[in-house]
Amino acid sequence: MNRKDLWLLILIIIVGTVVAIINPRFLSPINLSNTANLIGLFGIFAVAQAFVIISGGIELSVGSIIALLGVVFIDLVASEAVNPALAFVIVVAIGCLIGLLHGFLVAKLGLQPFVVTLCGLLIYRGIARYYTEDATAGFPFGASFPTLEWLTAGRFYGIPHSLIAFIVITLVMGVVLHKSVFGRYLFAVGKNEEAARYSGIHTARITIAAYVICCGLTAVAAVFIAMYTRSISPSSHGNFYELYAIAAAVLGGCSLRGGEGSIVGVVLGTVLLQVLQNLVNLLGIPSSLNFAVMGSVILIGVLADQQISRRAARVKAPAG
C-alpha cells in the first residue's frame, strides 16, 4: 500500500466514523450487507476501467455494455434455450469481442479512445433498446433459477456473493497488474507509448488486451447486476455507471494521463464512493444530487492528481 492508498484508507475511516455518529443505522447489519453488495457490484467494473485508464485510454461505454449484455443474459436464461453457465460464457465472450473491437480501433486504426467508446456508449444502448423493442426485459412471472440466483445474488454467512466475486477478481487482477510482465508493459505504455514501442514492447497488443480485460470484466458485472435487479429497462439501466468507474479509479490513484494506478487504490476508491452514497441516503439528501457528488469527486480527484504530479516534477527537477 503506497502513501496515496494509505491516505484514502484514512479518509474512508474518517467519513465512515462521521456517518456512523450522525446516523447509527450506518453500522446496522442490513445496511453494511447492502453496502458490501453494492461495493462488489460496482467494484468489478471499476477495476475493469482501471486497466484501460492505466493504459492511457478511457472506456465510456461501460453502462451501455452492462445494459446490452444484461438484456442478452436475461433473454438467454429466461428462454431456457441454453443453461445459465453457457449463457454466462456467451455474455463474457461478447464482452471480450467488444473490447477487442475497441482495442483494434484505438491501437491499430489510431482513433481516439474517447471517440471510440463514446460511439460505443450510443451504439450498444441503441441495440439494447431495439433488441427489446424499448420494453423492460425480465424473467417470466414465476420463473425461478435457484442455483443461479444463489451464486449471483446470494449470501455466504451474510457476505454477499457479489463481494466475494469482487475480492477474487481483485486478487487475480492485482497479480496480473502488479506481478506480471503484462502489468509492467501496461504501465510503460500508459506512461509513454512511444518510448515503450522503441524499447521493444508490442504496444498495440498491450492496448488491445487492456480493452479486452476491461469489457470482459464489465460483462461479468453485467450478469451480477442483471440478477440483482431482476429486470432491465434498456433506456436507463447502467446509466452513468462509467462515471462511477472513472471516479473510483481516479480516487484510487489512477491518472487520466495513464501510467499510474493500483488495484488496492481502486478498491478503496470504490469503497469511498459507496460510503458517500450511503451518506447521501442516510441523511435524506435528494437522490438527484448523487450525480453532483460524483462529478465533484471526479473533479477533486483530478485536481489532487494534478497537484501531486506538479509537486513530483518540481522535486525531480535539477537544482540550479
Question: In terms of C-beta density within 10 A (0-12 exposed, 13-18 middle, 19 or more buried), how is residue 101 classed?
Answer: middle
Closest CA relative to residue 282, chosen from 72, 96, 28? 28
Which residue is listed with cell 522535486? 315
- Count CB neighbours of 168 within 10 A: 10
Return the sign of the alpha-carbon dihedral for residues 269, 117, 207, 205. Answer: positive
pTM above 0.75, yes or no: yes
Q: Which residues are paired to 137 by β-bridges?
A: 232
- Mean pLDDT is highest, among 9-23, 194-208, 240-254, for 194-208
pLDDT tens-digit series, residues 274-284: 888 888 777 77
SS3 state at 31: helix
pLDDT of res. 257: 87
Q: For 47-57, what is the mean pLDDT?
A: 96
pLDDT of res. 125: 95
Question: CA dihedral defined by 56, 62, 68, 73, rounded to 10 degrees?
Answer: 100
- The CA distance from 179 to 166, in Å, is 19
The band of 286, judged by pLDDT with boundaries at 50, 70 and 90, is confident
The domains located in the chain, with CATH, are 3-316 (1.10.3470)
One-letter amino acid of 263:
I
CA distances from 160 to 32, 152, 220 (A): 10, 9, 16
